[in-house]
Amino acid sequence: MKILEPDLVWVNGAFQSGYQVELCDDGTFGRIASHLGKPTERLNRQALLPGMVNAHSHAFQRGLRGKAESFEAGGGTFWSWREEMYRLANTLDAERFHRLSLLAFEEMLRAGITTVGEFHYVHHLEGSRGYELDEALVRAATEAGIRLVALDVCYLSGDVSKPLGKEQRRFGSKSVDVFLESAERLGALLEGHQSLGLAAHSIRAVPIEAVVELHEAARAKGLVFHLHVEEQPREIEAARSHYGKRPLALLLDHLEIGSELTAVHCTHSESEELARFLATGANVCVCPLTEASLADGIPPALLAESSHLSLGTDSNLRIDFGEEMRLLEYAQRLREKRRGVFTGRDGSVAERLFRIATEGGSRSLGVRTGRVEEGYAADFFTLNLDAPSLAEAPVEELLTAFVFGADQSAIGAVAVGGVNIPGMGLTR
């Protein structure tokens, strides 16, 4: 057991001074109170906060950074970007896939993200039907030290009612049964701070009957279940043409939905259907930087009313949850022409956004993180109170200064399960 004594601790929605934080040997927080005893480590001029939770990532897409940002006359679209992504995916060997994943996970940790939900769909090496890249993913997460929820993704069709294209073969499984067998193997590789979830890529890539089967398997195993939903109008039109309904309506009609399910994006969802979906207890994950980069659109303002919202870095074109939080709010301000769309307790937008970045992601991924509270995983980061981007910020405005004004140089130590990430400021 260790006792940390920072200057400030984020507890119950506010920074508190005079608190000590107990780290238990099992990797959880113990007591958070004053006068626990002689501190093992004094964190001078630092504030301790719960680690942030990235509910949606494609780590291999870190390899697209610097690419796909030059356009012919008329500009690009999501679909032209997808062709660039396919080219990357189909050039990956196991070593480069591992290296890109490791780069992404290490960058997340430096940004104060201690948990990632990795939406993993590039399974096979060229010419193989094995799942060799699963091991490379797990190895990268282990080496980085990040808490991993491996969201194993089923991919069966190239589009609604169409076979896989040659550029999608490295994603595909022959059937739901074959996929579930591979998910069992992936689960057996996981250890320590790692757990399994199941996912269907989308209604485009998985027929609704198979989505139902996968969702039922996840519920039977007590696993979370994620899928992309209504990111692009073309996806919605394809579902309407084939099924007579939009993707979200299909899910509502066919699945027994609860808190285990997360719909990613919902940038083109209708407010009435989205309200029905959220009323089931389900979650929505939005990825503002990627949705802006790919010209997806802005999700409905209705999401601001939900407590079941999380954030993801998706394409990892930039890994910065401060920017994800800011853009979540600012995009709605631009559309709604009013400030404070995501307003939380006592009128604080920053507090609401930070809860989405921590507790919202934990709910989506089914992990007990996102709070500095006894019994929760001891995943945390610290802010350097002497950082230039936090200068002159009083305690009562420190979180707002971090969310809306700080850069990542303000982040000091980072720990997962109470263990310092090497080079991030704490002794082991």
Query: Which positions are annotated as active-site residues?
Result: 265, 314
> What phi, psi does 254 have (nearest 5°)?
-110, -20
Q: Is the dihedral of CA 348, 350, 351, 352 positive or negative?
A: positive
d(CA 407, CA 150): 29
Residue 203 CB neighbour total at 10 angstroms: 28
d(CA 223, CA 218): 5
d(CA 56, CA 214): 19
Query: Rg of the chain over CA atoms, in angstroms?
Result: 21
Residue type, 326: R
d(CA 398, CA 15): 8
In angstroms, the Cα distances linking 220 to 12, 153, 198, 216, 410 are 34, 17, 11, 6, 43
Beta strand 147-154 with 194-200: parallel, antiparallel or unpaired?
A: parallel
d(CA 370, CA 376): 8
Reported as type and span, the H/E element at residue 226 is: strand 225-229
Cβ neighbours of residue 139 under 8 Å, at least 6 residues apart? 98
d(CA 84, CA 294): 12
Residue 56 CB neighbour total at 10 angstroms: 28
